[in-house]
Structure formats: structure tokens, C-alpha cells
Amino acid sequence: TFYRDDFRRQGSPLVPNQTKIDFIIEGKKVIMMDDVLWTGRTIRAAMDAMQAFGRPEKVELLALVDRRYSRHIPVSADYVGIEVDSIASQKVVVSWKETDGEDRIVLVSEAK
């Protein structure tokens, strides 16, 4: 939580989650996974947090959905499920069968 660059900008205090990595990542090859890669800020925060647990030999990124545009951080996925061209006002909603009853990716445009 505190590796995010927006934790002080929230309206209410963030409740920190515990990071539990019960193995050593020093010298290992790590594949990080993200459901939707958009600005890259989540990946940057995850990489910052990962450094507290060692220095991996290599880090690769797998993204289920790559929004391709509007990156704030120069990061790209090594493995991509689907690329989506979208604008900032649109939202990508990912549903998982295990939690939502079906596997589905929906691009939603906000009504004005």
C-alpha cells in the first residue's frame, strides 16, 4: 500500500495490507502478473515493494489486458492476453469465474 504514489491523496486513510513473500527472490527470475496494465503505476509500486525482499535476476510482466495508451511509467508487458485501445474515460472491467461467476472482459464507457 505505501509503495503506491497516491496513498496520501485518498479521501480516507488507507489500511495497509501485509506483504507475505515466504521465499527468497534474490537471483531468481520473477514474473509479475497484472489483470489490466494501464498507466504502469501499479507495476512500479510492485517493483518498489519487491526490492525490499531482494534483487531478482530478471523481472518479466504478464498482463491479461494491455490498454497500451496513457502510460505514466515506461513499462511494457512481456506477455499479453489482449490489447485494448481505449480512452481515459473508459474503464476495463475484468470478471473471474471463481469470484464473479464467469470469465469476462468488458470495456465500459461512462455516461455523461
DSSP of 7-31: TTSSSSPPPPPPP---S--TT-EEE
34 vs 102: CA distance, rounded Å: 18
User: Phi/psi at 89 (nearest 5 deg)?
Assistant: -75, -10
pTM: 0.76
Run of H or E including 34: strand 29-37
Residue with cell 489482449: 82
- Please state whether 58 falls in left (phi above 0), alpha (psi between -120 and 50) or beta: beta
Ordered per-residue pLDDT tens for the chain, 112 residues: 556 565 555 666 667 677 777 888 999 999 999 999 999 998 998 898 888 888 999 999 999 999 988 889 999 999 999 999 888 888 899 999 999 999 998 989 876 6
